[in-house]
Amino acid sequence: MSTDDKNRAIAAAILPLVGGAGNISSVAHCMTRLRLGLRDRSLVRDEALKALPSVMGVVEDDTYQIVLGPGTVARVTPEFEALVAAGAAQAPAHSAEELADRGAALKAARKAKNATPFKLFLRKIANIFVPLIPALIGCGIIAGLNGLLINLGWLPGVTPALAAIASGFMALIAVFVGYNTAKEFGGTPILGGAVAAIIVYAGVAKVEVFGQALSPGQGGVLGALGAAVLAVHVEKWCRRRVPESLDVLVTPTLTVLVSGLVTIYGLMFVAGEISQGIGDFADWLLENAGAGAGFLLGGLFLPLVMLGLHQALIPIHTTLIEQQGYTVLLPILAMAGAGQVGAAMAVYLKLPRNGSLRRTVKSALPAGFLGVGEPLIYGVSLPLGRPFVTACVGGAFGGGFIGLFTMLGDKVGSTAIGPSGWALFPLLDGDKGLGTTLAIYAGGLVVGYLVGFAATYFWGFSREMIEEFDVDAEAVAASAPVAAGPGATGRDPEPEPEPAQA
């Protein structure tokens, strides 16, 4: 089977299990998940969906999220969209309305429960930066390769070109942030990009604000974000008040002019001070309380992910990369995934009779080593409860290990955001040479693996949990109809659900 046929088959298997084309209101994807807007949540067959070999897990938030893994999700999504479009074209005209009516109450209740104003705001911020991650990764890897070639003295005629390729995106990242910000907040994207472009324009060096000359790029991505949000508000104000006959001339002009002046004479300076403060605080925190700060960050990152609060870190990472060339926080946070891997290996050894759960662990571990933690979190540790906590303990010790070396003067950073685990090695950078940086990060992973394993093996299970989960669930399910006999209803009783089925 060709790759296209395989991806089409995955999409075709998923579609009927989420209620068919008529039940899909929106389709999107991030790095690992297919994100679906559903009209009627009750039409989704969760267990059948989780049983698909290509599905690593599901997550419910404001959208229904199916974990397919990096690479796969980007290829399956277009096939899924094509099937949805074809199904919608063939469906009766009234089917979508019927589904919408049936699912309206469920959808409203779910949104009321999960869509708090703060979380909605954080999702908007994340939606601005997530589309930039592929470029950050690609340019970060090229920058690392270029640094290696320079240190080795190889290809001196090529390294300047590689430097230009790696740095071009970062030089203009404010423009992309402005464009995405305006798009996300309901304005005209190109106007947001135009206002944000002022920040990186070399001519701002001739402008003095508060007695100081501005610097191109001052304020960075935070300034671009603020400038674009302001542009959206100015644009919306103009749309409400400017006559339609003049709108095409007046609205964009006033939007760029007003927002541009405020950006130059206010936002660039303020955002620059905030950005500088973020960098200085991160350096101070890890230099003076590195082990303790790393312990807390590594241990609390997964709970932050569960609450959706990790999205607040994305602009902080991007600001640090823009300022220093790398973010010192990401390698510490990546230790949370190491704790999950160690915990999963302990679960595998602790429950030798649970064949279903052991298969889930075996299938999810390769992705876990590469930093994709959803299959292990949602398929193994979180359903079991205590192993999730002990996995966080492993992440805390791994983070503390890296934080300790930062206190000793050996910084470990990442030139991009997104990857984790072993996939982060090509993006690592620091201030004491590549070999030292790689060794410290590898040591943190090993500590996370070992502590996560030990904490889970010795303290992750109570006696009652062992009795409940260390059973052959498939054998129990197969023997259940025989033991019970034919039911009075004339149908076989349903087998017991498998614990922690991925």
The pLDDT of residue 392: 95
- Concatenating the DSSP letter of every residue in 351-389 gives -TT-HHHHHHHHHHHHHHHTT--HHHIIIIIHHHSHHHH
Point out the residues that are catalytic.
30
Mean pLDDT by 10-residue block, N- to C-terminus, for the chain (502 residues)? 81 91 87 86 88 84 83 86 79 40 46 63 84 86 84 88 90 93 93 95 90 88 94 94 88 95 93 88 86 92 77 85 89 94 94 85 87 80 88 96 92 87 89 88 96 95 85 57 43 44 36
Spatial distance between the Cα atoms of 497 and 480, rounded to a whole number of angstroms: 12
Q: How far apart are CA 53 and CA 49, in angstroms?
A: 9
Q: What is the Cα–Cα distance from 284 to 497, expressed in whole angstroms?
A: 50
Q: What is the pLDDT of residue 95?
A: 36
CA distance linking residue 458 with residue 345, whole number of Å: 13
For residue 99, the model assigns a pLDDT of: 34
pLDDT at residue 139, as a whole number: 87
Element (H, E) at 209: strand 208-209
Give the number of other Cβ atoms within 10 Å of residue 391's Cβ.
37
pLDDT on residue 391: 95
Per-residue confidence (pLDDT) for residue 344, from 0 to 100 = 93
Furthest C-alpha separation in the chain? 88
Helix axes 386-407, 335-350, angle to 10 degrees: 140
Alpha-carbon dihedral angle through residues 414, 396, 371, 306, given to the nearest 10 degrees: -110
Burial class (CB in 10 A: 0-12, 13-18, 19+), 141: middle
| pLDDT attached to residue 342 | 96
Measured between alpha carbons, how far is 269 from 7 in angstroms, rounded to an integer?
49
How far, in Å, CA of 50 to CA of 91, rounded?
26
Mapping DSSP onto H, E and C, the string for 58-110 reads EEECCCEEEECCCCHHHHHHHHHHHHHHHHHHHCCCCHHHHHHHHHHHHHHHH
